[in-house]
Structure 1
């Protein structure tokens, strides 16, 4: 297919002015779209639990006078690179699994595979390259973390199929997408603690919440295609479910901070994050796809505020 540079080279739910379309050759656009480089919100949401967990471990170690600040910063760089690579690999895998479904959904049929701009063989090779990049990052960590990271692949493999057998695919997304809540701590400490488990559980609840908002964009097409989701399950009660999900996530984060012995500034970040989550719930309109997408993307600010609170507490130690 000849690329003309018009909107047929784009995907319908990605910004047309993204850097991908300004700096990459047009022939690479479909691969950037497979990896969702034109939609950075995904790798950001994957990265924040890693950063939270790493920041929590850093606070714990600093309080005991054994933090290596250089190693902490190096791990943040690794988690950034790993999040971009593994989110891209996961999205490519998801598109391979969901190609037929994506052809039947208005928002997704312009993606590279259903639109025919990339073959399945090309997509598989690209997925492998991204996964290898993630593997390089993983093997920069301690062996406990390497084993922990490999264990997450089972959850990654299951997630694309969850919408076919459960009304809670967002829970399976949370299990996979929140794994960094364990990884950040284990990379510094070499183990799993109560604090890291609490971070992981909180991130799962947060993920279910924000991805439910995201799924409300597709609920009509999903109903026609028989695709299940918490958006369809919660329906008009979505706001009440979000109060429970986000509220419990905040409680678990606070308990994780207590378990790790973080300073007061970390809790200040948590209070601000709570206000941002409350604003999402108050302004949500489940029948407005544009609003749903905007609120979904807004969650990267929530993740950033929680991490910055942990950094502020660390600096204050």
Structure 2
């Protein structure tokens, strides 16, 4: 029993389950908006709630585990990554492959019970999720690829409820994409020197600190613009726009923290972005409720 518990702890450390907070609120945002438009009610049922959460967790776990598998050679020499379970031997390569396959099968099987479109797109989505691990080795747009991976969350939420891809979900997707890319650029500042020595194509390693701060701010500005277009495209009201403005203020605070003290990057990355996604969802919910 203790060994099984330790395995679960190691897997949790590998995929950092608590960071699901970044994507889940945007999936739920899309689902309540889609349900409101389609059914006149935010509630889409316990069945879709359960299946949606399973899909979100399994897809993210697949992406994180695949990334750890592909990155072992560049994580091992990096002091910041040396204690990861995929590097220090707690989770072997074979077990990691089995976990990746398990997550992929759970995701595909779950989409089968949602609707046909979700099932047909399940494998292409997994291919996109795995693509980030490859892009970072040869192209600086890897930050945007990672952003697009998270941006698929609201599109998936809309598909689950409506079996279609409405334009407002695409606008929300692009907002999430640029939001994620922006904070990933900031997070990559921690590894700027290592990425240079390892020949990785992160924006900080290619363009330096000042340019990275500017590019991150630009990405976040574009994210807020897309979120405003999402509110318009979905026909939302004043409280939704208030939520976007507050989200923009949180992003501004994130940049102030990082500019003032690089040692606070973890706080800006994990805490503030976790708050942002939750605040965003709450204001959309409030708008629909009122």
Q: Same fold (TM over 0.5)?
A: yes
Higher helix share: 2
Deviations 1:143-179 (A, max 9, x none): 1122233321221222101111102211111122211
Give the aligned partner of residue 209 of structure 1.
Answer: 182
Residue 87 of structure 1 pairs with residue 60 of structure 2 = yes
Give the aligned partner of residue 144 of structure 1.
Answer: 117
Q: How does 1:232-311 map to 2 (within 5 A)?
A: 232-234=205-207, 235-285=209-259, 288=262, 290-297=263-270, 298-311=272-285
Q: Deviation of residue 68 (structure 1)? A: 5.2
Cα distance in 1 between the residues matched to 2:42 and 2:261? 46
Unmatched segments (≥5 aa) in structure 1 = 1-21
State whether residues 55 and 307 of structure 1, in contact with CA within 8 Å, keep that contact through their aligned partners in structure 2: no
- CA gap of 1:146–1:67, structure 2 versus 1, over 3 A, is farther
Cα distance in 1 between the residues matched to 2:235 and 2:198? 48
Give the aligned partner of residue 26 of structure 1.
Answer: 6
Give the aligned partner of residue 56 of structure 1.
Answer: 33
- CA gap of 1:291–1:72, structure 2 versus 1, over 3 A, is farther
Give the aligned partner of residue 35 of structure 1.
Answer: 15
Deviations 1:34-59 (A, max 9, x none): 2323xx12x22232332232233234
Deviations 1:80-115 (A, max 9, x none): 332222222211111111111111111111112221
- CA gap of 1:241–1:59, structure 2 versus 1, over 3 A, is farther
Residue 163 of structure 1 pairs with residue 136 of structure 2 = yes
Q: Deviation of residue 24 (structure 1)? A: 6.9
Cα distance in 1 between the residues matched to 2:218 and 2:112? 38
Cα distance in 2 between the residues matched to 1:34 and 1:91? 8
283, 287, 290: which one aligns with 1:313:
287
Cα distance in 1 between the residues matched to 2:70 and 2:108? 22
Cα distance in 2 between the residues matched to 1:204 and 1:131? 22
Unmatched segments (≥5 aa) in structure 2 = none
- CA gap of 1:155–1:55, structure 2 versus 1, over 3 A, is same
Q: Which runs of 4+ in 1 moved over 4 A?
A: none
Count the aligned residue pairs.
287
State whether residues 159 and 172 of structure 1, in contact with CA within 8 Å, keep that contact through their aligned partners in structure 2: yes
What TM-score comes out, normalization by structure 1 length? Answer: 0.83
Cα distance in 1 between the residues matched to 2:247 and 2:4? 35
Q: CA RMSD in A?
A: 2.2
Give the aligned partner of residue 8 of structure 1.
Answer: none
State whether residues 212 and 231 of structure 1, in contact with CA within 8 Å, keep that contact through their aligned partners in structure 2: yes
Q: Deviation of residue 198 (structure 1)? A: 0.7
Deviations 1:205-255 (A, max 9, x none): 011011111111211211111112123245212332233211111111111
What TM-score comes out, normalization by structure 2 length? Answer: 0.90
